[in-house]
Amino acid sequence: MFATDLENRITHWADSAAALFGYSASEAVGQPFGALLPFRMRDAADERQLLAMIQAGRTWRGEGTVRLRDGSERWIESTVKPWLVDGDLVGSVSVSRDVTETIEAEFRLRDERRFVDGVLDVAGSLVIVLDPAGTIVRFNAACEQLSGYRAGEMIGGPIWDALIPPDELGGVRAAFADLRAGQFPSSYENHWLRRDGGRRLIAWSSTCLTDDAGAVTHVIGTGTDITEERRTEDALRGIAAVGQVLASHGPTDASLDAIVATLADGMGYHHITLLLVDGDRLRVGASRGLTGLPASLPIARGIVGRVARTGEPAWVPDVRTDPDYVAVSPDVRSEIAVPLLADGRTIGVLDLEATADAPLAERDLRLAQTVAERIASALLLGREQQALAQRAELLRALSEFARATNAILEPDRLAPALMDALTRIFPGDVMTLTTLDRDTGRYRLSAARGVARSIIGAEVRPGDGPAGRAIEQRAFLGPIELHRADYASAVRDDIGPDALISVAVPLIRDDAVLGAISVGRANLDHPFSDVECEVMELLGAQAALALANAALHQEVSELAIHDGLTGLYNRRHFDATLDLTFARWRRHRGQAGLAAIMFDLDHFGRFNKEHGHQAGDAVLRAFGGLLRERLRSSDLVARYGGEEFVVILEECGLGDAVVVAEEIRASLEGRAIDGPLGQRLAARVSAGCAAIDPAEPTKEALLRAADVALAMAKRGGRNQVVAV
């Protein structure tokens, strides 16, 4: 507390001001406050408002930073009241308090929120958060891009108002009507309606967040747009079916028409032509959506003729700009023509045309090229039939892999689940999953097949073996032939075959290498196909996403149940877990012991005043570490509030609790704690111990007894253990 005159010169300077700011009264009185203690308000407008309010006889409140005598800056919260003498304003009286810790916590929370917002907005997957009524709470950038709606338009409204098609409303509403944790579908598919009226098929993985009572508070869904994937799968399945006919019976009218029908019905293309090279002409084998086509076209004319001659695909966004275009329909605006290639020569052309209402895009070019490859192979040899089936199966398996792994958010379960899913997709004699240990920054073997289980956890160095080389090079590796000397040193002596043909893919997410997957086959005459390598790379990307999601979920979960300063459990988690502890005790009919210890750091408020809150935080962290060192992993240890800590010891009696509490008390008394400024700090603790009373076997009674014992220890002089 201090006072200033109308020129802002200090006239009164309380001891509390000297303690906070570092200047004595003799140094402060008569000095301009702003010169003595440079003060920067949080809001620049507050300075003008302060002067105006004081002159108007009103009280001002605000925050800002002040530079103390020792040169440090602290945040203070001030209340400034006008000082009136006989009704005349003669100055002001200020009451200030140090709020540095509060403001810094506010800034940290703001930064954490910005971080979470940033993670959600850069996530490649759709991320949407709903409340139990189906109201949209979060709507990330990927959702905006896919739906055409801005987050500001969607947040606060029910999801079914704009996004859910009418034919799927019943199922979505029913899921929310009976919303319970563990029963909401964790993996499912549904459609979204875009702003432009289009429908997109989304594969979702969802989870429910609950409050302490187990009631669902939010539903978090992460989704992937699988419209094109499903569309492609359907088309490839159709092409695979008619490919058998093509390979067996050749390009009959019926088989060619079946291919065109598949593209038209399954993929929505309305102008399709399949042409086969016949000497110097292109014979029209089948078509849809175009009338008046001749039976054949000269190979020297048109965009399709150019593609047939050069063997190069053509994507023409506006046919009016291409001099080779030969108009067949006045409505056509874009065209894609891709060659059917076999053994390096063109045997036909697949041609797609579209109107201005639905122009062809680059994805259509990629799809057309894929389809053309299948048709050409089936026409020439029929051997591609097996490859088509293999691709469809691998893509299906990859889709199942993505759904299964994205639904697992526990890191301990994820590694074996990834390995199990991998073995269902790729046959192999030796398989390893190497992941990054975030605590040490080292890569370790986390799952394996064909390798001794005892080596799980062994370090895999970058550059060592196929997985290490994929990590070091940040690129897909293989297929390559490896001999025992080429194996990773961690597994070299635990692999049976002396030679393997191997592939390895790095697991990269957000430019960070999270690990690698390697697959080896002992049969060197059975190499990996191009399709397998392609899917292996896709699988690596999906596995990396699953690992990143699991790590993020673990971080969020840790923050929810742990005290941010000491790392111990927080009060909320302690209360919930204590109920489970008592349930176990009752199942054993009270035959096992159960004891509680309440700790309270001695004179902690005075300690903070003398040394500062940062030093107090250092003591809290050190004491939390001491509890973790001394107590068992099965013991329930929590920061109960402020400088109070509580421990629940299962299968222990009162005597055991006293021994443990005394050891911890003595350890803290004999320990020097490093302060934030390099000083050596000393702290003491009092403890109260109690055992469960069979006459009143409740958690309230146990904690109350321990609290009474703690109060006795404090009244008895502190730095001691008392049991009741």
User: Confidence band (pLDDT; 50, 70, 90) for 393?
Assistant: low
Mean pLDDT, all residues of the chain: 85
pLDDT at residue 704 above 90? yes
Instruction: Judge if 2-98 and 571-723 fold alike in CATH terms.
Output: no
Residue 495 tokens read as 């692999």
3-state class (DSSP) for residue 719: coil
Distance in angstroms (rounded) separating the CA atoms of residues 411 and 548? 10
Amino acid identity at 569: Y
User: Confidence band (pLDDT; 50, 70, 90) for 91?
Assistant: very high
The beta strands (E) that lie in 484-622 are given as 499-509, 512-521, 594-601
Amino acid identity at 668: L
Q: Which residue has the higher pLDDT, 52 or 319?
A: 319
In the chain, the percentage of residues whose pLDDT exceeds 90 is 35
* 191-238: pLDDT as tens digits: 999 998 888 999 988 888 888 887 888 888 888 888 877 777 776 676
List alpha helices for 140-226, DSSP H. Answer: 141-147, 151-154, 169-177
* Of 51-55, 135-139, 568-572, minimum mean pLDDT range: 51-55
8 Å CB contact between 634 and 575: no
**Residue 719 Rama label (left phi>0; alpha psi -120 to 50; beta):** left
Contacts of 600 (CB under 8 A, 6+ apart): 643, 644, 645, 685, 686, 687, 710, 714
Angle between helices 227-249 and 384-406 (to 10 degrees): 160
pLDDT at residue 457 above 90? no
* 246-286: pLDDT as tens digits: 666 666 778 788 888 877 876 778 889 999 988 889 999 89
Q: Any idea where the domains of the chain sit in the sequence?
A: 2-98, 106-225, 230-382, 391-558, 571-723
- Whether the link from the prior residue into 479 is cis, omega within 30° of 0, is yes
What's the confidence (pLDDT) of residue 553? 63
The beta strands (E) that lie in 438-496 are given as 442-449, 477-483
* 501-513: pLDDT as tens digits: 999 999 888 888 9
Residue range 230-382 forms a domain whose CATH class is alpha beta
Average pLDDT over every residue of 376-387: 60
* Of 26-35, 44-53, 293-302, minimum mean pLDDT range: 44-53
* 228-238: pLDDT as tens digits: 777 777 766 76
Amino acid identity at 248: S
3-state class (DSSP) for residue 51: helix
* Of 89-93, 566-570, 601-605, minimum mean pLDDT range: 566-570
pLDDT at residue 17 above 50? yes
Give 106-225's CATH code, choosing from 3.40.250.10, 3.30.450.20, 1.10.490.10, 3.40.50.2020: 3.30.450.20
Just give the CATH number of 2-98.
3.30.450.20
What's the confidence (pLDDT) of residue 591? 74
* 592-625: pLDDT as tens digits: 789 999 999 999 999 999 889 899 999 999 999 9
CA torsion angle 98 101 102 104 (round to 10): 120
Query: With b meaning 16 or more CB within 10 Å and e meaning fewer, what string describes 185-224?
Result: ebebebbbbeeeeeebbbbbbbbbeeeeeeebeebbbbbb
* 120-158: pLDDT as tens digits: 565 568 888 999 888 998 898 888 988 999 989 999 999
In the chain, the percentage of residues whose pLDDT exceeds 70 is 88
Nearest Cα to Cα of residue 312 among 275, 288, 341: 341
| Beta-bridge mates of residue 316 | 335
| Beta-bridge mates of residue 128 | 139, 221
Report pTM.
0.34
User: Confidence band (pLDDT; 50, 70, 90) for 409?
Assistant: low
pLDDT at residue 633 above 60? yes
Residue range 571-723 forms a domain whose CATH class is alpha beta
Domain 391-558 superfamily per CATH: GAF domain (3.30.450.40)
Distance in angstroms (rounded) separating the CA atoms of residues 162 and 100? 46
pLDDT at residue 2 above 50? yes
What's the confidence (pLDDT) of residue 383? 39
Centre a 10 Å sphere on the Cβ of residue 568 and count the other Cβ atoms it contains: 25
What's the confidence (pLDDT) of residue 382? 43
> Whats the size of the chain, residue-wise?
724
Average pLDDT over every residue of 163-188: 78
* Of 102-111, 344-353, 703-712, minimum mean pLDDT range: 102-111
